[in-house]
Amino acid sequence: MSISFRNIVIVGKHDEPRVTGPLKSLSEYLTKAGAALLSSEAIEDADLVIAIGGDGTMLYASRLARESGTPILGINRGRLGFLADVTPDEMITSVENVLQGNFTTDSRLLLEARLRHENGDEEVAYALNDVVLQRRETGRMVDFEARVAGQYVNTHSGDGLIIATPTGSTAYALSCGGPIVEPQLDVVIVVPVCPHTLTDRPIVVSANQPVEVSLLQRDDTKAEITVDGFSMGGIVPGDNLQISAAKNRVTLVHPPGYDFYEILRSKLFWGRDNRKRDT
Q: How far apart are CA 153 and CA 243, in angstroms?
A: 15
Q: How far apart are CA 120 and CA 275, in angstroms?
A: 58
Residues contacting 175, CB < 8 A, separation 6+: none
Active site residue 239: no
Residues 157 and 143 sit within 8 Å (Cβ to Cβ)? yes
Indicate the burial class of 15 (C-beta count within 10 angstroms; 0-12, 13-18, 19 or more). Answer: exposed
Half-sphere exposure of 173 (CA within 13 A, CB side): 28
Q: How far apart are CA 58 and CA 153, in angstroms?
A: 33
Q: Find the catalytic residue in 55, 85, 130, 239.
A: 55
Q: Which residues are catalytic?
A: 55
